[in-house]
Structure 1
Amino acid sequence: MVKLSAADRRNALLDAAWSYVAEHGVHALTLAEAAERGGVSKPIAYNHFQSRAGLLCALYDRYYTGHIEELTKALERAATVEEAAKVIAQAYVDCVEQSGPVAAALAGALSGGAEMETMRRDCDDRYVGLCVATLESRAARPIHFASVVAFVGAAASLSNEVQRGRISKKEAVDHLAGLLASAVT
């Protein structure tokens, strides 16, 4: 039997926790459940995350970090404000679609305490900061922080409507790209 490195064990626990939330919901997740599903003892899970809040924060941070990494790569091909707006809108809707209900459940759960709320806000600030910097670099003028925050709210709402089947993915992306581009031009 191959012994996993600490980083691999941590990732296995995060994978196990993500799939558990997908099946049973975020409120049912415990460190014991993540440990059992991840094939490790509870003390090992506690060594990695210290608490349920720590596990939730780590899950959300990994989700957001992955989204930002994918978005950053995709933005390398966007030369204009309009292209960047389209890439940002597409990436947001794709990310919500790929995560299913898990990311939304995690975001809701992170409103339950100071540590978790701080983590959620830090992730949101990283995302908004990336969008502002990207758009400013292509617009050659300052972008209002509030415009990007408004985009994020609209993106969350429209992505939810896509998941519910009330609008098409293309329709959501087109509206969001237009909203973001118009905030710049």
Structure 2
Amino acid sequence: MPNPLENGQGVIFMKVGLHASESLEDIVKRKRREYEEAGSIFWGYGGSSCHPRTMVQPFGKSMQEEGKHLLIIMNEMNSKHAAPPVAATHYSKDGVDWEAVPRGIEVRGSRFALVLDELRLDEFEVNLNDFEVGLGQSRGKAASEYLKGQNDKGCLIYHEPHVPPPPEEQIVKRIGLIARVKPPFAVFLKN
């Protein structure tokens, strides 16, 4: 399947897999029920590279101002994330004012969550050389460099390649899940 991204598209690239002792397949089933029941999905995660207030929210707002949607594209990986599957009871847009997690939404073992529209299974490949970091200290850095080592997610901007690089320079990732990230884009969680 061809890459559905447009030039200048903002994406959150995230490696996903086993989380809080639950398989990716089971998470996807639960998240689809979440969307049916609540009209939104809270996709839990951790790590400061996609901090809600300093990274994801400003990035989402900048895409909105450009008339574009912020997307999340997910690359499945082997994961051993076995945090206790404790469900969050409250969420916050700013880390100060807290509200009860909406009925029908269940997010486990995470500090933060992206707020998503319907989750789609959509298989296509992307070359990480076609993306750059969209904000923060690493802004402009090639995603292929940024996502090495410990970084498993990032706020990236897609650029259509003018000339495809030779195969040995491509860093291809298979995408299996895609969703639109909607305001407030990301939230803090607590139990």
Question: TM-score band, normalised by the shorter chain?
Answer: under 0.3
TM-score normalised to the size of structure 2? 0.23
Task: Answer 1 or 2: which has greater strand percent.
Answer: 2
| Higher RCO, 1 vs 2 (CA within 8 Å, ≥6 residues apart) | 2
Larger radius of gyration between Structure 1 and Structure 2? 1
